[in-house]
Structure formats: C-alpha cells, structure tokens
Chains A and B, each alone.
Chain A
Amino acid sequence: MSIIEAKGLARTFTSRRRKVEAVRGVDLTIDSGEIVGFLGPNGAGKTTTLRMLTTLLRPTAGTATVAGSDLLRDPVGVRRRIGYVPQAIGVTAGGTDPNCTVSEELTIQGRVYRLSAAETTERTRLLTAQLDLTGLEPRLCKTLSGGQRRRLDIALGLIHSPAVIFLDEPTTGLDPQSRSNLWEHITGLREKLGTTIFLTTHYLEEADALCDRVLVIDHGKIIAEGVPDELKRRISGDVVTLSVTGDQAQAQATLADHPGVREIALDGRAIRMTVEKGEEALPAMLRALDSHGITLESIQLARPTLDDVFLTLTGRSLRDDSASASQDEQDPEDHHDEALAGAGHQGRS
C-alpha cells in the first residue's frame, strides 16, 4: 500500500529575473514500511523535493498524497502524520534550540503534535531509551555531542509515532561510529514500528546499508530507481581491469569486440572495462588475449558500487563534490540546503 504518491511534482524558482527549475516533474510511489533513499549530486533537487513533500514548500506543479492526505488541500493533515528531520549541515542545524534542554524540546514537540501531557511523558521516556538519550534529559542541547544531538533531532521527528518519517541527510557530519550506530536505530524503527522512512543521502554506503530501494535524481528529474544491487547490475556491470605487457592497443581492440563489454579504456598499461556478468565473460576474454599472444600481468574484477551507477547515469561521481550541478540546478531560495554547499565547492574547484 503506498504511503507517498507524487505525480509530476515540480518547483520553479524565480531569482534575478531568471527562472530556475529545481525540480521538473517527479513521480514517485513509496510503500508503507519501505526505507527509500534519495540519491543525487548537490543541487539535483533532493531537498527541494523533500521540502515539497513535507509541506514546507508549495509545488509549482503536480500533486501528491502523503500519509493519506492531499498535499495541497490538507497540508495540516499531512503534517499531523509525518515526521521530518531537517538536515543539520550547511547554514542551518537540525531543529533544536541550543539553549533548551533535551526534555524541554521533547515536551514541546509532543504538545505541538497535540499529545496529552501523559502521552508526551510516555513517548519521551520510550524515545530517550530507544535512541540512547537516557540521562541526557536535563542537559542543554548545545552541550550534546554531534551524534547525541542528531539522535535527539530524530527523536523529535518521532514523538507522535508518525506513519512516515523524512530524514534529510541524517548522518552527514557524524563520525563513522555514530553513523553506523544511527543506521542501527533507523533500521530498528522499521523493524519495530513499521515506520516508512524516506531519506536523502550523500553516502552511497548509507544507501547500500539502509535502503530497500533508491531513487536517483539529477537535474530535477528521477533518472533511475530500484533495489541497490539490481541497479548496480543493470546500470553498471562489473569493472574488469587487466594489465598486459606488449601491444596494449591490440589488446584493447581484441577485447572491445568481446560480447558483454560496454566500455573500454586504456589507462597506462591497464585496460579498464565495464562488462556485463564479468565473472562469466572473463575466461573467454583471457583465451582471446592468449590467442593473440598478449601476456597478462594481472586481473582484477570489481563489483560495481552505487558510485559507479551514479557515474554511468549522471556522468559524474557522487563522491566528487566538486563535480556538483551547475548553478542552474541550484535552488536559489534554499540558501541553507545543498545548493550553497555546491556553490562553495565550485568556487574552490
């Protein structure tokens, strides 16, 4: 059963008398209980889409139903049933006031979601235990560590047991230990509560570790979606690297005609190829090289990563932040989101 359904969701910003299409027609369906990752380079439209689905930004076109309520006609209905954890990087932080205590934040959050005082206390007790925040209740938020503060952000988003929670870059800025710790909490949410989770991320290993399904967005449009493994197989193929002595050009020519070889490039003495079902293609490739009298020095077969998928789809690496989207894809109104980070990187590159 779908819990989020969007059709043709689009957002155009007008800045300096220039129209910028940040999101240009996103269709997506997310089923109840899914963990879905939203992947895309800086300025691709991830945060803009998320902000539209969470009623923070009105779409310029398109419709969506979120948690049973129509996004445009009943935004308050949507707000009642969703949780949202804003990104905590860049200009803005994750939503806690540095001078409030942990328990004050959880209490007011319960009250604005119209929980009774007793329910708020009960939920606070449960969430502090679940998210390892027990004992921190009287502390001011500014005294918490990055991981603790992020877990508090998530607890705030969960206070009213929402059917679906939106996490914008949940682990960005955390050390590896806090990150894997948070991953456990996120998967635990779905296992224990059946919460639907829609998250954006920069980290491919995060998408790999957490998500049932990923949506890849670029230039404001979803360009691929699927189970991570399936995406890797379908889009990238395996990466085979062979080092040869002798005539590399001839080796390249021999291999280029081989069935299943998608891309081939010569890199010094190494020939890099993307090959469908690499492990099956390899023996025949070796025989072909042998028959041309080419000697092999080494063989390497690598499974594709989501980054390879990304590279194939968008022509740029997700890891390489400097290859962020052009200024046109950036969201001029959201100075606090990925757009600014992208602009900064561009300046440096």
Chain B
Amino acid sequence: MTAAVTTSPDARAQAPAPGGLAPVRPPNWLLTFFSDTWLIFSRQMRLSLRNPAWVIIGLTQPILYLAFFGPLLSRIAKTGALGVPASNPYSFFVPGLLIQLGLFGAAFVGFTIIADWRAGVIERFRVTPVSRMALLAGRVLRDVITLTAQAIVLVLAGLAFGLRAPLGGVLVGLGFVAVVAVSLASLSYTVGLVLKSEDALAPLLNMIMVPLMLLSGIMLPMTLGPHWLRIAAKCTPFGYIINAMRGAFAGHYFDSIMVEGICVAVGLAAICLWLASRAFIKENA
C-alpha cells in the first residue's frame, strides 16, 4: 500500500502522498502556519489545564506582595513620592506587580521546553511537516493566554485592596502584559533550547530577571534613587513599560510616556521573537 516513490527530485511537486493518505495541501504558508499554531496551542493549553498547579503557584507571589507590601505603600503615597494620588497607591503598585508576574512567570517557561526536548517531543515534531515557527508560536500563545488570565485575577485582587482605575486603562495594562509575555516567553524558550539544561537555565534566568526587576521600579519609583541608579534604570526596558502602564491606570493614554512604553514593549517583543524564530527554525537542533 506504500505509494510508488519517485527518485527524481524534480518530480517532487506532483509526487503522490505516501500511502495515498496525506493529501499534499496547497502550500499556503500563512494558512498552514495558523492552523499549526492552533494545533500546538491546543495541545499546550490542554497540558497546562491538566496541571493547573503552576498557574496558581505563579499567582501566589504577586498576591502576597499585594497583601503584605501594598499597605506599606499607602504611607509613602501620602508623601507624594509615588506620583499618584495618596488615595490610590494601588494604581502605582498593581502595574508593577503585573510586570513582576511576567518576569517570574513567562520568563521561566524555558524549563518546559527543556522537558519537552528531553521527552523527545521537539525532535519528533521537527521531523514532521509541521511549521517550525508554529512550534514556537503555539507555545507563546499559550503563555500569553495564561499570563493574561493571571493578570486579570491580580487586577481583580487589586480592586479588592482598593485599586481604582478606568476600565480602558486596565485593558491597556493587560495589553502590555500580553506583549511582555510574548517577549519573555520567546526569549526563555530560546535560551532553554540553546542551553538544554535546567541547571544552567535557573541561575541564568535569576541573574537576568532579578536586576531587571529591581531596576524597573516595581516596588518604588526609580525617581527616588540617586542619579546613577536612574541612569541604570533607563538602560533597562521594563521601567518604560511600567511607567506607561501606570499612566494608563491614571487615565493618561496619549502622552510621550505611553509612546515610549509602546515602542519599548513592541521593540523588545520583535527582538525576542526574531531570536526565538532563529532557534526554532534553524536546521541543526
């Protein structure tokens, strides 16, 4: 029942599918990419829902910060140092926690790609005609959805603690979270695929993420710091994004801070996706 296979490479275009079972679809690259992305996304999402523990564990840290650190900020807010109304310190704090959620959630998905690689799953799919970009995109999409869902829970918890922000601002904030998830998840997958070792990935991620978090002004505004610290913070991406999110939470949608934030977020996502696509598409893995 195996189909006759032509040895001439020139005949490959019209060569019959082996076994007569697999119809050779019209090579619509984009359509294939989207349907493959959906396949991989569904698989990864189903796996996540089967073990939802990590999604919940990922939420506990920011919720704890919200509960145990947030109240301290109320005092500081009264001094005006946070740049938000004293009545609403959480519009300063929640955007920071949303980014923290990303830094310690999406940034650690690289571990799952190492597990997949160990299970032989990556190789197995790389030998199939599936779009290699879809292997990345399906996973990143899962991470974006997961992180956005966690972010919504965090915002709702923030509301319970006294966050007041316009719906539009919250939606813009969630949009930033989604774009940041794309950056961090794809970067994490890239590093995971290159290192192929949990023992190397864990310290590396901590080495990168902790300074990035500290310099992004999640807990306190960087304007409180000395000049050199402010310069250092200006060199890292997340401060711009958090400032734009804080602006959005205060209802400022059209200012230079927002433009900066969008440019940094989208630029970072583009760079990370480009790096990741190279790692996923490359012939030798």
> Do A and B belong to a common assembly?
yes
Would you list the 6 A-B pairs with minimal beta carbon distance, nearest first?
Answer: A161-B19, A95-B124, A95-B120, A70-B9, A58-B283, A112-B130
Are A163 and B18 closer than 8 Å at their CB atoms? yes
Task: Determine whether A185 belongs to the interface, using a CB cutoff of 8 Å to chain B.
Answer: no
Known: A70-B9, A74-B12, A163-B3. A80 touches B50 (CB 8 A): no
Complex CA distance for A212 and B18, rounded to whole angstroms: 23
Task: Determine whether B256 belongs to the interface, using a CB cutoff of 8 Å to chain A.
Answer: no
Distance between A87 CB and nearest chain B CB, rounded to angstroms: 8
Complex CA distance for A86 and B116, rounded to whole angstroms: 13
Are A163 and B2 closer than 8 Å at their CB atoms? yes
27 A-B contacts (beta carbon < 8 Å): A1-B7, A55-B283, A57-B284, A58-B283, A58-B284, A68-B8, A76-B129, A80-B24, A81-B5, A88-B120, A92-B123, A93-B118, A95-B120, A96-B124, A100-B47, A104-B43, A112-B36, A112-B129, A113-B129, A156-B124, A161-B1, A161-B18, A162-B19, A163-B5, A163-B18, A163-B19, A196-B2
Residues of A within 8 A of B15 (CB): 68-69, 77, 81
- Which of B1, B23, B43, B119 has the most C-beta atoms of chain A within 10 angstroms of its own C-beta? B119
Complex CA distance for A77 and B24, rounded to whole angstroms: 10
Residues of A within 8 A of B263 (CB): none
Are A99 and B47 closer than 8 Å at their CB atoms? yes
Distance between B32 CB and nearest chain A CB, rounded to angstroms: 8
Residues of A within 8 A of B9 (CB): 65, 68-70, 73-74
Task: Determine whether B57 belongs to the interface, using a CB cutoff of 8 Å to chain A.
Answer: no
Complex CA distance for A96 and B115, rounded to whole angstroms: 11
Complex CA distance for A62 and B50, rounded to whole angstroms: 46
Complex CA distance for A76 and B117, rounded to whole angstroms: 21
Residues of B within 8 A of A146 (CB): none
Complex CA distance for A176 and B20, rounded to whole angstroms: 36
Where the two chains meet, the residues of A that have a C-beta atom closer than 8 Å to any C-beta of B are: 1-3, 5, 32, 54-58, 65, 67-70, 73-77, 79-82, 84, 86, 88, 91-100, 104, 108-109, 111-116, 119, 123, 156, 160-163, 193-196, 333, 335-336
A81: nearest residue on chain B (CB-CB)?
A: B18
Task: Determine whether B250 belongs to the interface, using a CB cutoff of 8 Å to chain A.
Answer: no
Are A95 and B119 closer than 8 Å at their CB atoms? yes
The residue from A2, A88, A91, A336 contacting B7, defined by CB atoms under 8 A apart: A2
Q: Is the interface of A mostly helix, strand, loop or mixed?
A: loop
Complex CA distance for A32 and B126, rounded to whole angstroms: 24
Are A115 and B21 closer than 8 Å at their CB atoms? yes
Task: Determine whether B46 belongs to the interface, using a CB cutoff of 8 Å to chain A.
Answer: yes
Complex CA distance for A88 and B7, rounded to whole angstroms: 31
Distance between A58 CB and nearest chain B CB, rounded to angstroms: 4
Known: A65-B7, A68-B9. A97 touches B128 (CB 8 A): no
The residue from A1, A97, A108, A333 contacting B116, defined by CB atoms under 8 A apart: A97
Distance between B44 CB and nearest chain A CB, rounded to angstroms: 10
Are B121 and A96 closer than 8 Å at their CB atoms? yes
Are B124 and A92 closer than 8 Å at their CB atoms? no
Residues of A within 8 A of B119 (CB): 92-93, 95-98
Task: Determine whether B22 belongs to the interface, using a CB cutoff of 8 Å to chain A.
Answer: yes
Residues of A within 8 A of B39 (CB): 108, 111-112
Residues of B within 8 A of A195 (CB): 2
Are A114 and B23 closer than 8 Å at their CB atoms? yes
- Which of A58, A67, A91, A333 has the most C-beta atoms of chain B within 10 angstroms of its own C-beta? A67
The residue from A74, A77, A79 contacting B127, defined by CB atoms under 8 A apart: A79
Task: Determine whether B227 belongs to the interface, using a CB cutoff of 8 Å to chain A.
Answer: no
Task: Determine whether B125 belongs to the interface, using a CB cutoff of 8 Å to chain A.
Answer: yes
Task: Determine whether B285 belongs to the interface, using a CB cutoff of 8 Å to chain A.
Answer: yes
Chain B, 147-163, CB within 8 A of any chain A CB:
none
Residues of A within 8 A of B125 (CB): 112
Distance between A335 CB and nearest chain B CB, rounded to angstroms: 7
Distance between A316 CB and nearest chain B CB, rounded to angstroms: 29
Task: Determine whether B6 belongs to the interface, using a CB cutoff of 8 Å to chain A.
Answer: yes
Complex CA distance for A114 and B26, rounded to whole angstroms: 11
Task: Determine whether B196 belongs to the interface, using a CB cutoff of 8 Å to chain A.
Answer: yes
Complex CA distance for A74 and B51, rounded to whole angstroms: 39
Complex CA distance for A92 and B51, rounded to whole angstroms: 22
Distance between A150 CB and nearest chain B CB, rounded to angstroms: 12
Are A114 and B22 closer than 8 Å at their CB atoms? yes
Distance between A128 CB and nearest chain B CB, rounded to angstroms: 16
Residues of B within 8 A of A88 (CB): 120
Residues of B within 8 A of A2 (CB): 7
Are B129 and A79 closer than 8 Å at their CB atoms? yes
Are B12 and A161 closer than 8 Å at their CB atoms? no
- Which of B6, B126, B284 has the most C-beta atoms of chain A within 10 angstroms of its own C-beta? B284
- Which of A92, A96, A112 has the most C-beta atoms of chain B within 10 angstroms of its own C-beta? A112
Task: Determine whether B11 belongs to the interface, using a CB cutoff of 8 Å to chain A.
Answer: yes
Residues of B within 8 A of A336 (CB): 118
Complex CA distance for A335 and B285, rounded to whole angstroms: 11
Are B283 and A57 closer than 8 Å at their CB atoms? yes
